[in-house]
């Protein structure tokens, strides 16, 4: 199935910066009609102006996706354009810190935004899709939907939950061939998101390279909207992480925890803050976060993930061949 995006009505939440902004511009270049949503009205209007400059119709609607009524109002405004063809559920926040040192209110807000917010999106638009008999709902998840992120427990819970929600919703509409629930899982992306997030670890937070250009993720989203498919991963790190977690989830999580703990020990100090958990970021309307460098590549992280996968494969082989395992002796066991 291929969908013509010219004049298609596309709703994008979290459109005021980063992946959301890049996605808005990518759809604008295809001639789509855009309904852009976020909490920061000023930044959102700047993005809408850019999209109009690219030749697209675009309106901005200040929306907090944690409020179900606000999301329903967003859907009603989008219907003024006509049938809603695509809904990109893109809002996401984060809080970095040890679980017990992060306020429980912060954990709750991450879940409320990253999981309940996406459920609010789906709950508002799915009845519209069912009435139309068609529509594409795209959930922006991340590699965090495949593997736990130590020092970001609520973020991990939200992304694992979001993946489960998508799978359940996809099963419910399986008998509706023209209604699609699609997931996108990018690796680390160069956006202002890390800078905007809550910081309870007291250290500067960054992403290990290779870091993706948000525009590449946006093109993947456009591709999914044009030709819907259930799962799309973006970046080799996502593929490696998914494999490592599939084969040895506990080992992969421990390896990442050690990596992060070592990083935070040497990272420059930073002021602890709630970031954009409870209020919009003030420096939005930016796609890039300044994290990319063509000369930086996190070999230790990527090789570590590959090593975890290799060890897990070897262990799986040992378990599948008990005679060989006994012959090798217990001292050669991998864990």
Which of 204, 12, 201 has its CA nearest to residue 92? 12
As given in the structure block, the two tokens for residue 116 are: 């309940």
As given in the structure block, the two tokens for residue 6 are: 């010219």
Kind of pairing, strands 9-13 and 212-213? Answer: unpaired
Q: For the chain, how long is the longest CA-to-CA vector?
A: 71
User: Which residues are bridge partners to 38 per DSSP?
Assistant: 62
Q: Cα 284 vs. chain centroid, distance in angstroms? A: 18
State the Cα angle at 118 between 171 and 279, rounded to 5°: 170
CA atoms within 13 A on the CB side of 65: 32
Residue 33's Cβ-count burial label (10 Å; 0-12, 13-18, 19+) is: buried
Which of 155, 185, 200, 297 does the annotation list as catalytic?
155
Phi/psi of residue 174, nearest 5 degrees: -60, -25
Is 185 annotated as catalytic?
no
Q: How far apart are CA 62 and CA 317, in angstroms?
A: 54
DSSP 135: E
Which of 258, 241, 247 has its CA nearest to residue 187? 241
Q: How far apart are CA 162 and CA 116, in angstroms?
A: 9
As given in the structure block, the two tokens for residue 83 are: 């049938």
Give the chain's radius of gyration (CA, Å): 21
Which of 325, 284, 273 has its CA nearest to residue 97? 273
Active site residues: 155
């Amino acid at each position: 199935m291929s969908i013509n995006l010219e004049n298609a009505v596309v709703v994008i939440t979290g459109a005021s910066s980063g992946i959301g902004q890049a996605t808005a511009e990518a759809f604008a270049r295809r001639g789509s009609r855009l309904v852009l949503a976020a909490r920061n009205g000023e930044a959102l209007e700047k993005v809408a102006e850019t999209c109009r400059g690219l030749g697209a119709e675009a309106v901005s609607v200040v929306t907090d996706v944690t409020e179900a009524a606000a999301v329903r109002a967003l859907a009603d405004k989008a219907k003024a354009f006509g049938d809603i063809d695509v809904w990109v559920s893109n809002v996401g926040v984060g809080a970095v810190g040890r679980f017990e040192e992060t306020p429980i209110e912060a954990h709750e807000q991450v879940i409320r935004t990253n999981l309940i917010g996406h459920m609010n999106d789906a709950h508002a638009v799915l009845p519209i899709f069912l009435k139309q008999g068609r529509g594409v709902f795209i959930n922006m998840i991340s590699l965090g939907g495949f593997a736990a992120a130590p020092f970001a427990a609520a973020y991990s819970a939200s992304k694992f939950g979001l993946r489960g929600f998508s799978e359940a919703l996809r099963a419910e509409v399986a008998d509706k061939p023209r209604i699609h629930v699609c997931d996108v899982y990018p690796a680390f992306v160069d956006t202002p998101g890390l800078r905007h997030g809550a910081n309870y670890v007291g250290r500067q937070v960054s992403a290990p390279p290779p870091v993706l250009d948000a525009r590449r993720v946006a093109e993947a989203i456009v591709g999914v909207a044009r030709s819907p498919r259930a799962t799309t991963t973006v970046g080799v790190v996502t593929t490696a992480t998914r494999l490592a977690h599939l084969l040895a989830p506990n080992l992969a999580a421990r390896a990442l925890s050690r990596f992060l703990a070592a990083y935070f020990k040497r990272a420059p100090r930073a002021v602890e803050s709630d970031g954009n958990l409870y209020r919009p970021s003030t420096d939005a309307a930016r796609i890039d976060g300044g994290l990319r460098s063509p000369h930086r590549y996190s070999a230790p992280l990527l090789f570590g993930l590959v090593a975890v996968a290799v060890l897990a494969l070897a262990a799986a082989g040992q378990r599948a061949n008990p005679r060989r395992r006994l012959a090798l002796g217990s001292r050669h066991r991998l864990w």
